[in-house]
Amino acid sequence: MSVPIDDYTAMLMEYVLPQDFIWPSDHLFTEVLGSKAQLADGVQRALGREPKDFADYAREAAATGVWTPSV
């Protein structure tokens, strides 16, 4: 699910979070992870395999039960 950054920022403001928290979040999602993000070959060089999409990793990990709390 994708949430537009303006909607996310508005939600943070509704929760009356300090601007010192909102600004870095906005910067992270627009500048650091936004359109300027580029793929690199670090995973290939370090692990000897192609990188995996995080959503695929999360689904595969969840299917193993690793994040299921034990009682």
Residue 71 domain flag: no
Does residue 18 sit within a domain?
Answer: yes
Q: What range does the domain containing 24 cover?
A: 5-63
User: What is the C-alpha to C-alpha distance for residues 23 and 32, in angstroms, rounded to an integer?
Assistant: 13
Indicate the pTM of the whole model.
0.46
Three-point CA angle 66, 67, 70, nearest 5°:
90
Q: 47 lies in a domain?
A: yes
Q: What is the pLDDT of residues 18-27, one digit of tens each?
A: 999 999 988 8
Give the model's pLDDT for residue 11.
92
Residue-level pLDDT at 37: 59
Residue 70 included in any domain: no
